[in-house]
Structure 1
């Protein structure tokens, strides 16, 4: 069985987490991985629940369209009080009058025989809309998972920034203490002490800002994943992306859910044009009825039955039929234009994601070299300062350069992971199924298969639908 990129990084993340825990505590310790965050986001997302409900509504549109080809059975009943008064022909006789109370009940059946395909086209258009909504659901799923990746890396990045700022504050506190001691013995001036004090105040301000950023990152994580972040393990191995951008664009144009959704919307619009054109043709229906009526107060009653074939056509309706055709043509043109836009947006998204990935990777590699050089420089400047060859300002500048290099590395690492998963999203591969997440994958065809034939409420399939709907209800 082929191992997906996400399975690889989950295994690597689990192994890395276990090694780190054993190194620190000497025993296994649980830490939340990126895979755990993605599972939480998939199970928690209200947007996914909303889109699934919209998909079920689209499924019901198919059932409603199918029902137009099935027999319509209805009953009617009437209770009529009649009055009659007629003048007598004999001028010496009283006028004749009567009243009666009549009840009747009828059972009427009607079935469409032929409508030149108007109903069939609408059924097919509804099916295309269902397919488009399924792909929209997949795209929402990708957005949810990408947001979870961004939130996970955001917490890690903010936490590392706080750690860097705390360490920077401790170092500057030591530098200030050393500057004061050297001032006491006359080695430096009051200006050096003031510089150290200013730098420490700036570091404390930066620490407060980093702590605020961490709080915001935790809030974003809670919203995206559905729970507070615990102890997060380090980033796992990057997913395999491939370096051929053109091949990635071609893959995206074949399988990205947004593009497939736009294609189905164009197909649905084409079918609605045909349906509205066919609606201008005659309709042939088969009609039948049985009934009984009885007049109260006497023994009169009537039984009746009829069956017939009806043909009708709307000749003129104020121009509405022609307007419906023109409107559906305009909607078709709009969907075609949307397909054009979506196609180029997807290609651009793939190119942007690869560009961000390459930029972050280059920045990360450069920051490694920058940190090594800045660390050597800082240690050297500090040693030279103890010998009087460097000023306090030189030491502070070297410390700031090291902090900047470390901050650049932290940001580049977070950007690299978000860019990598943005590539997966841009090519349509960031779904729970593609990532092999240990979740119950929502079956978009399950509900559709229950309703596609428009079952009545009291049938076996209708009762099964009732049980499904009760199970879907949430408090």
Structure 2
């Protein structure tokens, strides 16, 4: 990060006031859209998914031909000296040669191993897409939390500042009444103590706002300005907890990814079992070999040779004995399949717990919100009554200070309750798998992992007989269920 950017973030964290107008207010939709486009964690997960996409391309290569070429060039010289004899009639013998070959190999049948590996790669891609969706939902939840945290701390700072202003006026009033002998020095000291405590609370609120703003900048990618009220999430929430459970089991990305992982593990078992089946491959090659000999001396000669060869073959291999390797590989694959199956059940239980907790938090937050709204209404009436009673001598300065403190505490509790209710609503949607960027920021350009997948999947093209080879490879081979893409 550059020094200028660090300085900007630090300045924003230390800034305690907002000068932006309401017309330029930043909305939750703006924050979600920016984070969705720029957040490094999300960008990292997208890159990881693109790497996973390459697994399908690599698996498909087992159905396609491979072509290789080789070439060589040789030269040598032998000097025999000047003492030539009938057995060594040459003074110098020079030889040179060259050769080249091109070979092609086309798998025809792998016992189903190539098909199983392709199925596993496709399941891994779909699981990776669910992992990406899980990261997206976590990011959206973090954006929502950071957004409402900034708004809460802004409101808390406003309440703390207002409290300081009220207590300052209260102290001025106490000093004036003390001057005319209506109250004692004790009343003035009580007002001074409450004002000092309010100023300390104001400093704490300023620090909390700086922390909330810095956290917002880290998640969203820019410093918060004047934040508009967050939109209601009520229309996105289910009516009952049973509906939330059903939606979570069907759409929660952790559960769906676990199901795809199980499919990949099942395909790995099929690939391991294919080691017992024969394999068939076709091959062809073309090459030439040329050589030249030049003998210099009393009986010098020069001659050459040129050969060209074309060959074709079909090779079948049948496994007979592997020293227990194949059986061990199958057992290991089956245990990994068992682990993946158990992981699905574990994911379901985790999601049930998440939905239960989120739903309970939401109900509690709603109840607290109603209670805190009533508390604020009642404490406002009480505060005004105590102030009026103080004016006629029925209440002391301490009574007014206590009423003021109760009112500010109730207002702060209401601000927190509103924040908690909104975060709890987002938590229910996240547990359901329904916290979608399309619902929070419908105009943002969505990242489509299928576009990247199609790009690499068709990058090297295909051969006309590939579908035939794939169909042949499934004959009498261990079955592997081809995964179907979700939403």
Q: TM-score under structure 2 normalisation?
A: 0.82
Q: Deviations over 1:324-353 (max 9, x none)?
A: 333323322232222122111112222222
Distance in 1, Cα, partners of 2:278 & 2:261: 28
What's the CA shift for 1:291?
Answer: 0.4
What is the aligned partner in structure 2 of residue 333 from structure 1? 338
Q: Which SS does the other structure have where 2:445 is aligned?
A: coil
Q: Is the 8 A contact 1:262 1:335 kept in 2?
A: yes
2:160 to 135, 160, 165: 165
Q: How many residues align?
A: 425
Q: Which runs of 5+ in 1 are unaligned?
A: 1-24, 86-91, 458-475
What is the aligned partner in structure 2 of residue 44 from structure 1? 38
2:113 to 118, 142, 157: 118
1:242 matched to 2:238? The reply is yes
Q: Is the 8 A contact 1:64 1:454 kept in 2?
A: no
What's the CA shift for 1:387?
Answer: 2.9
What is the aligned partner in structure 1 of residue 400 from structure 2? 395
Which protein, 1 or 2, shows the higher relative CO under an 8 Å CA cutoff with sep ≥ 6? Answer: 2
Distance in 1, Cα, partners of 2:289 & 2:308: 7
The alignment's C-alpha RMSD in Å is 2.4
Distance in 2, Cα, partners of 1:235 & 1:95: 101
What is the aligned partner in structure 1 of residue 379 from structure 2? 374
Q: Deviations over 1:52-88 (max 9, x none)?
A: 2122111111001101110010001123457999xxx
Runs of 4+ residues deviating >6 angstroms: 82-85, 96-99
Q: Is the 8 A contact 2:33 2:441 kept in 1?
A: no
Q: Is the 8 A contact 1:381 1:398 kept in 2?
A: yes
Q: Is the 8 A contact 1:106 1:289 kept in 2?
A: yes
What's the CA shift for 1:107?
Answer: 0.4
2:427 to 422, 431, 442: 422
Q: Is the 8 A contact 1:292 1:303 kept in 2?
A: yes
1:179 to 174, 178, 181: 174
Distance in 2, Cα, partners of 1:216 & 1:101: 78
1:447 matched to 2:452? The reply is yes
2:127 to 121, 125, 132: 132
What's the CA shift for 1:99?
Answer: 6.3
What's the CA shift for 1:306?
Answer: 0.9
Distance in 2, Cα, partners of 1:269 & 1:223: 38
What is the aligned partner in structure 2 of residue 7 from structure 1? none
- 1:226-241 → structure 2 map (5 Å cutoff): 226-240=221-235, 241=237
What is the aligned partner in structure 1 of residue 484 from structure 2? none
Distance in 1, Cα, partners of 2:455 & 2:292: 48
Distance in 2, Cα, partners of 1:111 & 1:82: 38
Q: Is the 8 A contact 1:249 1:427 kept in 2?
A: yes
What's the CA shift for 1:224?
Answer: 2.0
Distance in 2, Cα, partners of 1:178 & 1:188: 10
